[in-house]
């Protein structure tokens, strides 16, 4: 066996659950259920852009799959299969073992099979493709938001960005707060159960990877409508011992435009309000109404005194 195939066998081959033929042949084989359509998406992580060269390989393995699973959650799809294309500067068995341990921990947590991929030498780059199932016509798209829909958010925003700013030396967090926020940054929890539950509730949805305002703006553009958000209603930083002050523009920007949260932002008709609150209870995941959709295009954020905020930053853009 060649060293390359040995590496694939050792680190990237595991028993599968949802798959007819997995890693090892020229292609994998899968069957999708009757009445289902295949949701397909890919996300790439590049050293220096998405993660630091010295980051922990376990966390990198987890995150590279988790961010892809998050896209399935945002579609209301059930993630099932993934492929992994990886470029490695060198073969480091310890690094690879930790990377695959993190990757498969996430795969196991969300019942996803790794069914194939590619392994080459090059600057550390990880490209994952995810595939999932959704009943035909039930996927939650970005273009479905309606005037007067309420805008909802899961979980809390800004933890990952707080940790990132700390790592970058732009602010200093107390050790316990950093440890807490670093978990959000390195091992995000995609909201799959919520996405599935929203199939019959939400008119539109997106996952927050680049920042709330930037990602919500995708919904607004594709649905050709606008929105008003209430800053005081936006849930932020979940560490109780560290209250952050939204009067401070830096903190406000982290909550409104910080990325890497992987929470879901969705819109739903007013009459679904109670059902959504019940869903929040049954899933033990905070769901908060943060604003509503307007016929006028554009995005307005009301500040803490109800003033209209002057927004300078909406989120991360690779090419801006």
Residue closer to ligand ADP (CB basis): 63 or 166: 63
- Measured from the CB atom, the residue of 118 and 248 that comes closer to Mg ion is 118
Q: Are 151 and 216 in contact (CB under 8 A)?
A: yes
Q: Measured between alpha carbons, how far is 211 from 140 in angstroms, rounded to an integer?
A: 19
Q: Which residues of 300-309 are buried (b: 16+ CB within 10 A; e: fewer)?
A: ebbeeeeeee
Q: In the complex with ligand ADP, which residue's Cβ is closer, 12 or 81?
A: 12
Answer yes or no whether residue 4 interacts with Mg ion by CB under 5 A.
no
Decide: is 118 part of the binding site for Mg ion (CB under 5 A): yes
Cβ–Cβ under 8 Å, residues 212 and 262: no
| # of chain residues touching ligand ADP (CB under 6 A) | 13
From the list ligand ADP, Mg ion, none, partner contacted by residue 160 (C-beta under 5 to 8 A by kind)? none
Q: What are phi and psi of 173, to 5 degrees?
A: -100, 145
Q: Which of 69, 86, 145, 197 binds ligand ADP (CB under 6 A)?
A: 86
- Given the complex with Mg ion, which of 65 and 84 has the nearer CB atom? 84
* Distance (Å, whole) CA 10 – CA 112: 18
Q: In terms of Cα–Cα distance, which of 241, 250, 188, 196 is closest to 45?
A: 188
| 190 binds ligand ADP per the rule CB under 6 A | no
Q: Is 119 in the site for ligand ADP (CB under 6 A)?
A: yes
Total residues at the site for Mg ion (CB under 5 A)? 1
> At its nearest, how many Å lie between ligand ADP and the CB of residue 26?
5
Name residue, tokens 């805008």: 151
Instruction: Out of 12, 81, 99, 251, point to the residue binding ligand ADP (CB under 6 A).
Output: 12
317 touches ligand ADP by CB under 6 A: no
Tokens linked to 188: 């995000």
Site string for ligand ADP, 45-84 (x = CB under 6 A): ---------------------------------------x
The DSSP line for 36-105 is EEEEEEEEEEEBTTTB-TTS-HHHHHHHHHHHHHHHHHHHT-EEEEEEEEEEESS--HHHHHHHHHHHHH
- The Cα–Cα gap between 277 and 279 comes to 5
The CB-of-24 to ligand ADP minimum distance in angstroms stands at: 5
Residues that bind ligand ADP (CB under 6 A): 8, 12, 23-26, 84, 86, 114, 116-119
Residues that bind Mg ion (CB under 5 A): 118
């Amino acid at each position: 066996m060649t060293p390359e195939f040995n590496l694939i066998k050792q680190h990237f081959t595991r028993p599968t659950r949802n798959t007819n033929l997995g890693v090892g042949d020229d292609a994998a084989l899968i069957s999708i259920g009757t009445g289902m359509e295949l949701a397909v998406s890919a996300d790439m992580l590049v050293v220096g852009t998405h993660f630091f060269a010295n980051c922990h390989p376990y966390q990198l393995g987890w995150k590279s799959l988790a961010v892809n699973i998050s896209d399935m959650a945002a579609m209301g799809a059930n993630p099932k299969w993934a492929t992994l294309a990886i470029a490695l500067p060198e073969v480091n068995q310890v690094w690879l073992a930790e990377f695959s341990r993190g990757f498969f921990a996430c795969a196991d947590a969300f019942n996803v099979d790794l069914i194939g991929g590619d392994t080459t030498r090059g600057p550390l780059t990880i490209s994952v493709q995810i595939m999932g199932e959704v009943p035909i016509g039930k996927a939650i798209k970005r273009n479905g938001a309606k005037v007067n829909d309420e805008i909802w958010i899961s979980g809390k925003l800004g933890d990952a960005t707080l940790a990132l700013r700390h790592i970058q030396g732009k602010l200093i967090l107390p050790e316990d707060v950093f440890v807490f926020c670093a978990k959000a940054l390195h091992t995000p929890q995609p909201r799959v159960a919520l996405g599935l539950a929203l199939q019959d509730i939400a008119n539109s949805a997106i996952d927050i990877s680049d920042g709330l305002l930037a990602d919500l703006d995708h919904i607004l553009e594709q649905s050709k409508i606008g929105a008003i958000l209430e800053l005081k209603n936006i849930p932020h930083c979940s560490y109780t011992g560290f209250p952050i002050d939204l009067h401070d523009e830096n903190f406000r920007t982290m909550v409104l435009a910080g990325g890497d949260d992987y929470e879901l932002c969705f819109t739903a008709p007013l009459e679904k309000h109670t059902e959504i609150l019940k869903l929040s209870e049954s899933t033990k995941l905070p769901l908060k109404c943060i604003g509503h959709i307007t016929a006028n295009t554009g995005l307005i954020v009301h500040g803490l005194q109800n003033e209209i905020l002057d927004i300078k930053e909406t989120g991360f853009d690779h090419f801006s």
